[in-house]
Structures are given as C-alpha cells and as structure tokens.
Amino acid sequence: MRMRSIRNYKGLPADVTLNSFANSVQLRDREPKYQPLVHQIKQTEERRETREVELDWFDRDEDDIAAEVKMLNVGTCKEVGPPSLEFSSSVFPYDFWFLLSGFIAPEDVGRFASISPLTRHIVSSQAFWRRLYSRYFSPELELSSAYSPESMSRPLGLRARVILMLHLSYSPFRAIKNQSSVWPDLDKLVGRVCTLHWSSKLSRSQCFFYFKLKDQFITENKSKHQEYFVEEWEEINVDKGFLDKLSDINHNPENGCKLLQVCCANWCLFPSPLSQKLKRVSVSVSHGMKHHKLQMEFGGPRGQSGDIKVLIDSVVSLKVLDWWDPQYSNINNNFVK
C-alpha cells in the first residue's frame, strides 16, 4: 500500500508517526478511548449497590431510616391546578338602572345600552328618550316646530327626532360637526344603493349634485307595545298592528342613508344611476389641474353589462352627510318641498 507524501510544514518533522501523538508530553482535551468503558463499569457498580440497599431495606433499623429521611430534607410538592376564575359579581335590579339612565350623557347612550339586556331594554323605551329630550331642550334655542314639546308627544319616530334635536343643541355634537375634513373617505359608500339623486344650481356656472345612498343590510328595530293593551280591548275590534306602527319610537325612514354632496364649477350631464349599486369610486385631478374629477361606477347585482359610469369633472368640494346631520335634513326637506 502506497503512503501519501506529507508536505513539510514549519515546526513539524517530515515524517509524523502515531507514537508522537500517543506518547506526547502535552495533555490533550480529548478523553482517552477507554473512558466510556470506565463510566459503564462505575454505573453498573452503583446499580448493584442500590439494589443491595433496596434488598436490605426491611432488615434495617427504623431509627437509622428516620435519621436518613431527616438528612434528605425532601420538600413535598403541591399539585398546581388551574387558577380560580371566581369573580364577585352583583346583579342590580331594574329600578337601579332606570334611575341611573337619567344621568347618562348623550354620547354615552350606546355604552350604557351594551352593559346588559336590562339597560338595552331601558334605552329602547319611550320614557328614556322623553327624559333625555326634557334634559337638553330649551325654548331659547329657537328650533323648528318639529322639535317642540307638542310634536314630541307623538311617539312615532321619537328616537330619531331626539337625536336630531341633540345635534342641533348639544355643544359636544356641534363641536364635532365644526371639525371640517378636507376630503371624506368615499370608500365607505361602496356597496350602497342609490335611492335618489338630484341637482341644484347656485349660479350660471356653479351647481350641486346630490346622491342619496342607502345601506340595504340595515334592519329596522320595530318596537312593539303589546303590554299596554288592556284585556278588555280584545273584545273590541282593535288593529294591534296599526297601534304598534303608531307607537314605534324607532321608526326612521332615513336610517342607513348617507348623502353625497358634490360641488362643481361647471354643469355636466351623466346617466341616471337610480336603484343601482355603487361598485367603485375614485377621485383624481382634472385635466386643467385646477379641480378634481369624480368617477363612480354603478351596477346591478347580475353581471357587468348594465354598468353605469358617472364622470363629474371640475369638482370643487365633496361632503358625505349622515342622516342625523342638520345639513342632511335641510337639504332633504328642501328637495321634498
């Protein structure tokens, strides 16, 4: 067998033998090959000793065993179970929540209604909205006759009228309205259906375009007051469904509606998107770089063949008004008139 030649490195002889490493004076970190065998022999001897001790356990004296146990000082471990989830809670009666509802601020009505089913039932009652109206209404505000105490005696649509009155008179709500934003988020209008649209001219050139968009997935919570019916009325022909409609405080035909107000510098003509669903909306810069351009795409639920594209150039400003905004009701009432 031919041996490979080893190159001469500095500090090493030409021929390196096994004896130079095995009988070297310098100690190596590597353990000798016979070390694992020594460990195995020691472990077997320890096992034998423990077995002998276990066998001789019953023959040993009790005092010796007790002395060894004291020397070990082995602590007993306790089983750790899951943490206890017991909370101290108390259920308050209906009268407590009813009295507390008389001190709830208008901006905290939603939080108060989400506490429990009792508070939700209180918020959906006529007494709650009548007390809220009496706390914040003042004859000095000079509001319209729709918010007068005589008009508020009618329960139909009481909740919506109280909310509109608060946005006219309550100072925190008026401060929020005064915080004007440059451009609203139009993506929130995607998915709504155009129920109405009209236009109005300000001058020979400027005009307003209005698009009334409604969310079709919002359901109205109709309040029924069957507990107010007397048993004697059953003998009389009384239409309970008609009485429920007249006493529905949650009645609001404008619920879920938003009004898109577009102010333009020039008049433009576009197809009617009535009863169509808004699919896409975008705002870009117009051709003259002076104004903005609004693009809206409306379509039905089936296919894209009947899509309607509305292009409004020379847009000066945009506003999105909710149904409780005073501007919304003024524009809507003027159009109906």
pLDDT tens track for 109-123: 999 999 999 999 999
CA torsion angle 18 20 22 28 (round to 10) = -130
- How do residues 124-175 score in pLDDT, each as one tens digit? 999 999 999 999 998 888 888 889 999 888 899 999 999 999 999 888 888 8
* Residue 268 and residue 191 share a domain: yes
φ and ψ at residue 31, rounded to 5 degrees: -75, 150
191's tokens = 């998915």
pLDDT computed for residue 9 by the predictor: 47
Beta carbons of 283 and 293 less than 8 angstroms apart: yes
CA distance 305 to 229: 54
Whether 313 is in a domain gets the answer yes
Global pTM exceeds 0.85: no
* Residue 190 and residue 173 share a domain: no
Average pLDDT over residues 193-209: 88
pLDDT at 233 over 70: no
* The last residue of a domain, from among 117, 152, 177: 177
Whether 312 is in a domain gets the answer yes
pLDDT computed for residue 196 by the predictor: 92
Please calculate the CA angle 88-90-92 and round it to the nearest 5 degrees.
Answer: 165
CA distance 52 to 49: 5
108's tokens = 């905290």
Whether 273 is in a domain gets the answer yes
* Residue 283 and residue 153 share a domain: no
Q: Which amino acid is at 301?
A: P
Residues spanned by the domain of 303? 180-218+256-336
Confidence of residue 203 (pLDDT cuts 50, 70, 90): confident
φ and ψ at residue 277, rounded to 5 degrees: -90, 135
Whether 161 is in a domain gets the answer yes
* Residue 294 and residue 167 share a domain: no
* Domain count across the chain: 2
H or E element that contains 336? helix 326-336
Whether 53 is in a domain gets the answer no
Using alpha carbons, select from 113, 109, 130, 111 the residue that is nearest to residue 121: 113
Between these two residues, 154 and 4, which has the higher pLDDT value? 154
Beta carbons of 149 and 272 less than 8 angstroms apart: no
* The last residue of a domain, from among 177, 208, 237: 177
CA distance 19 to 9: 19
* Residue 202 and residue 125 share a domain: no
H or E element that contains 22? helix 19-22
Mean pLDDT rounded to a whole number for the chain: 77
* Residue 197 and residue 145 share a domain: no
CA distance 260 to 258: 7
Task: Give me the residues paired with residue 311 across strands.
Answer: 295
Using alpha carbons, select from 329, 291, 288, 295 the residue that is nearest to residue 310: 295
| End-to-end Cα, the chain, rounded Å | 115
Average pLDDT over residues 194-198: 92
* Residue 163 and residue 205 share a domain: no
Whether 23 is in a domain gets the answer no
User: What percentage of the chain reaches a pLDDT higher than 70?
Assistant: 62
* Residue 327 and residue 192 share a domain: yes
* Residue 135 and residue 213 share a domain: no
* Residue 192 and residue 125 share a domain: no
* Residue 315 and residue 260 share a domain: yes
Whether 266 is in a domain gets the answer yes
* Residue 277 and residue 184 share a domain: yes
pLDDT computed for residue 266 by the predictor: 87
Using alpha carbons, select from 274, 256, 278, 271 the residue that is nearest to residue 187: 278
